[in-house]
Amino acid sequence: MVSLDSEIEGIDEYRTFSITPYYRYFFSSKYAQGFFVEAFTMLHTGDEEIYNDYYESATDTYYSNYERNKYTYFAVGISAGAKFVTKRGFIAKIYLGIGRDMLGNSDIEVVGRGGVSIGYRFQ
């Protein structure tokens, strides 16, 4: 995943790059279809916005500080989902998963993985 616009707000508004290799195991006798589980790793980078607000009672003053830091994190996780294929080759896939930061230096201790895909399988 590569973010081309840094001004997009949403789930991945801070993530600028992600590479996510996975191993998927299908519980079906048919090739690459049916229900599955997968193990994945995710190396992702981006920008964090950190706001520090504090109040000094001695001078009755309110202070605010803003920082933008670049990060690189590595996560490991699991996902589950299903992939359906029609006889004409159309496919639909849905999956959802969760992973945890393994480097221990992240404020984002948990990462999510999910998707919905519709397409065509060329045979």
Tell me the pLDDT tens digit for each residue of 34-89. Answer: 999 999 999 988 877 777 777 777 787 877 777 777 888 899 999 999 999 999 98
Residue 5, class by beta-carbon neighbours within 10 Å (0-12 exposed, 13-18 middle, 19+ buried)? exposed
Range of the domain at 89: 15-120
Residue 8 forms part of a structural domain: no
For residue 117, pLDDT over 80 is answered with: yes
Residue 32 forms part of a structural domain: yes
What was the pLDDT predicted at 46? Answer: 80
Q: Rounded CA gap, 16 and 98, in Å? A: 19
Residue 4 forms part of a structural domain: no
The first and second tokens of residue 113, run together, are 């993985």
Residue 3 forms part of a structural domain: no
Indicate the number of domains in the chain: 1
